[in-house]
Structure 1
Amino acid sequence: MSEKERPSFEEALVKLEAIVEKLSSQEITLEKSVELYEEGLRLSKICSETLENAALKIEQIDQSKNTDKET
């Protein structure tokens, strides 16, 4: 998936919330439920990766800050 196709964290989260709402509907077909579930998994993975990358970046900043203090 290219960066252009990849939604931002916020966009993915909004889409995930909409999917959860749709899946809660009793009028949804099984086929549509499976389709939405697959899309939800894809969006969930994007959110998880984004959060992991942010955590790593913060950790690197903290380590860099601590190294600077020691010198």
Structure 2
Amino acid sequence: MTKEQPQPAVEGFSSADVSDVDTLNYEQARSELIQTVERLETGGAGLEESLALWERGEALARRCEAWLTGARQRLEEVRAETQQSAQPEA
């Protein structure tokens, strides 16, 4: 029985650099996401570049969603605290 050798990665395939996405604030991630979508929509990029753009776009969208989720939670906490402090003591 022979062991299968792992296949080398295709050069350039799936090479989206997403390591910095977690450092972006909401506005930065949103702005870059818009630019990425525009590049994909205009076409002209090769398959490998399009895949890399798509992967980075997905990471940027997740980052934006994480920021929005955090903002919603903070608003709900403040709203709950405000309602609690507005209620008269019994």
Same fold? TM cut 0.5: yes
Which 5+ residue runs of structure 2 have no aligned equivalent? 1-18
Q: Give the equivalent residue in structure 1 for 2:4.
A: none
Q: Give the equivalent residue in structure 2 for 1:51.
A: 68
Q: Give the equivalent residue in structure 2 for 1:30.
A: 47
Q: Counterpart of 2:23 in 1: which secondary structure? A: coil
Equivalent pairs, count: 69
The sequence identity of aligned pairs, in percent, is: 25
Instruction: Provide the C-alpha distance between the structure 1 equivalents of 2:43 and 2:74, rounded to a whole number of angstroms.
Output: 42
Once superposed, which parts of structure 1, at least 4 consecutive aligned residues long, lie more than 4 Å away?
none
Give a deviation string over 1:4-34, Cα, whole Å, max 9, x none: x511100001100110111012311010000
Larger-Rg structure: 2
> Could you state the TM-score of these two structures normalised by the residue count of structure 1?
0.89
Q: Give the equivalent residue in structure 2 for 1:41.
A: 58
- Structure (1 or 2) with the greater helix fraction: 1
Please report the RMSD computed on the Cα atoms of aligned residues, expressed in angstroms: 1.6
Which 5+ residue runs of structure 1 have no aligned equivalent? none
